[in-house]
Structure 1
Amino acid sequence: MAATCSRDSCSAAPCPRRISKTCWPSPSPPSATKKCAPPFPGKALFCHPLPMRKALLRTVASLLLVALVFTFADPPRLLQALGHPDPGWLLAGFVASSCAVLSGALRWQQLARWLEMEAPTKLFLLAQWRGMAANTVMPGAVLGGDALRTLHLQRAGNPLGSAAVSVALDRISGLWVLVVISLSISALALACGLLPPQALPLPWPLVALLALAALAAPPALWLLSSASRHHLPRKLAGLLDAIHARPHPLRQYGIQLFGSAAVQTFFIIAFSCGGRAVGLELPLWLFFIAAGPIFILAATPVSVGGWGTREAASALVLGLLGAPKELAVATAVLYGLFAALQGLLGAATLFPWKKSKTPA
């Protein structure tokens, strides 16, 4: 007889056959989620308003940080760098950014299917672009966009808990691979004598060991959670039980590794195109090294759309690699504009465009 999953059994142990539909731990009861039913997912973020004080503080902090970085970078030279960017490199950067968004949506869809969630490919693409729009205008870096992506997947008929898990794992996998890429290329550059010692005063074997540790971290955490999840709180243990019930974890590990590598490669190429547009002549492999700390700092929830933290990190990291500070900041600004343009595309899809009817 086929296994069934009752409400009581879900609280005790996960059902391996219907995990995604009934047994995933949800952060709120179903009755709470039904109170907020906006006409389309783009308005869902406004059903529960953000704490205005925190949002205002983050916005002000982001603006102050941008002003501070611009002052540090010599405003006249920075404006001169931004005043005449190369249009060809700008177009290349926007195309690379678009490819990153598309590949990110496909990576997320693959992960959601592994977690037994169903939704059309169009939904993942729209949610990815709309998430970029939320990230651009909402305080909290990527948190607003991730919340919007979760709501899109929930409205496709998937439980809120499983949708949130897929978005969180998708975000973590991107940052994880970013660390692996940055450390791996740093170790190779140090071993070949291409990276100046003052940029990274560590021996290359240690950096290579850190890269291997980062690469092996997900399998290690998988084994550790498998052995210790029974000693954790019930909700967290139920979440880990549901994830561990999924088949072929090593295959999914490889899919996430290569999928996230493709996404980050496109983003780094877009970042380097922004540099080329303002005349920053650094080799591409240096951008792969610098992208790790720059992108991670931009993703911290202390600014609006990464503005301020991204420019500060770019001035510091690219400056250590020999870039003039005004060109480093200009590169980060153009990269932020690429993301803002992707956000505009996502915002355009939120409006219910009506097709004009032609008379018969």
Structure 2
Amino acid sequence: MTRSRLLTTGKIGLAIGLIVVILSAVDAREAWRMLRSADPRWLLAAFALLSLQTVLSALRWRLTARQLNQRIGFVRAVREYYLSQVINQSLPGGMLGDAGRAMRARGQAGLRLASLGVALERLAGQVAMAFVMGAGLVAAVVVDGGLQPPAWLAGTVAAICAGVAGVAVVAYMGGKLPGAVGRAMGGFVTDARRALTAPGVLWWQVASSLATAACNLLAFAACAKAIGIALPAGAIAVLVPLILFAMLIPVTVAGWGLREGAAATLLPLAGTSGAAGLAASVAFGLVFLAAVMPGLWPLLARRRTANL
């Protein structure tokens, strides 16, 4: 067995193992009952929100790429984004689809700028999610948002927000260094400013990133509502981003297992049960998988063309 195949098998096994552990720690029968009785109307709402966030993300990528001298048509941007998402949801690591998107877009400006456009677009989305989470934590402390965050949760959120801010600070300071490292970091900062904060671009980046974050958070809330759980605003703004951030850890397939563990651990802070957290996370994962299925169309079309 090759190293890559062994790594893939290990990540799939870890995802399955984590879910088994979670099932043993919560009321698995209750979680299954919630899933079986899920309201399809709320699941459809989640499907629509996740489909919308894909289109909005594609538009954000198109804008970012344009600032880096890449012209990508609307239809192509949406098609490529769907394709990258379906690959991310199907293969271990969660980033292979984005790497492929950069490779296919390299023709106009080269692989470096194509990769940078993809990376900055994804980074903008994560920054927006961290901003919502930080603002939600402040609001939960100042006003009653249905969530009373314990100290460890507040510390975790603060650390993530500080880490996101720290990336920008390190990149900026790195540009001041002498030699090749300083030139490389300086070039990165210049390109990032051009792509994300240039006049006429900044507010579009902010609006699209906050909109995609809202779509993801509300989609999870809709999945929770489908199984009979109404999450308070504080939980949606603070806990759900942490649950979704768990998916970014590249040790399983599409975050399966990690997301369920985070949901089963965190959602009880909002008055739900671990079983409800597990059920809501599984529902979200399945709806998300269904929502990216249009990404299979380019693959099927290419195979059909190859067989002609």
Give the TM-score of the pair, scaled to structure 2.
Answer: 0.86
Identity of aligned residues (%): 22
| Distance in structure 2 (CA, Å) of the matches to 1:248 and 1:343 | 26
Report what 2:245 is aligned to: 296
- The within-5 A match list for 1:6-85 is 51-85=4-38
| Distance in structure 2 (CA, Å) of the matches to 1:332 and 1:263 | 19
Report what 2:276 is aligned to: 327
- The within-5 A match list for 1:242-257 is 243=191, 246=194, 249-251=197-199, 252-257=201-206
Deviation at 1:161, TM superposition (A): 1.4
Report what 2:128 is aligned to: 177
Unaligned runs of 5+ in 2: none
| Distance in structure 2 (CA, Å) of the matches to 1:301 and 1:345 | 24
- Give the stretch that moved more between structures: 67-76 or 177-186: 67-76
Report what 2:46 is aligned to: 93
The answer on whether the counterparts of 1:97 and 1:267 sit within 8 Å (CA) in structure 2 is yes
Match of 2:181 among 233, 240, 246: 233
In structure 2, the CA distance between the partners of 1:211 and 1:147, relative to structure 1 (3 Å rule), is closer
- The within-5 A match list for 1:130-169 is 130-140=83-93, 142-154=94-106, 156-169=107-120
Question: Is residue 286 of structure 2 the alignment partner of residue 286 of structure 1?
Answer: no
The answer on whether the counterparts of 2:175 and 2:186 sit within 8 Å (CA) in structure 1 is no
Unaligned runs of 5+ in 1: 1-48, 356-360
- Give the stretch that moved more between structures: 278-287 or 98-107: 278-287
Question: Is residue 67 of structure 2 the alignment partner of residue 114 of structure 1?
Answer: yes
Give the TM-score of the pair, scaled to structure 1.
Answer: 0.75
The answer on whether the counterparts of 1:134 and 1:148 sit within 8 Å (CA) in structure 2 is no
Secondary structure of the corresponding residue to residue 261 of structure 1 = helix
| Distance in structure 2 (CA, Å) of the matches to 1:341 and 1:113 | 30
**Counting helix residues as a fraction of each chain, which structure ranks higher?**
2
- Give the stretch that moved more between structures: 168-177 or 124-133: 168-177
Secondary structure of the corresponding residue to residue 105 of structure 2 = helix
| Distance in structure 2 (CA, Å) of the matches to 1:196 and 1:241 | 38
Secondary structure of the corresponding residue to residue 151 of structure 2 = coil
Secondary structure of the corresponding residue to residue 75 of structure 2 = helix
Residue type of the alignment partner of 2:281: A
In structure 2, the CA distance between the partners of 1:241 and 1:73, relative to structure 1 (3 Å rule), is closer
In structure 2, the CA distance between the partners of 1:292 and 1:267, relative to structure 1 (3 Å rule), is same
Deviation at 1:283, TM superposition (A): 2.1
Deviations 1:87-112 (CA, angstroms, capped at 9, x unpaired): 11011110011111110110111111
Secondary structure of the corresponding residue to residue 350 of structure 1 = helix
Point out the structure with max Rg over C-alpha: 1
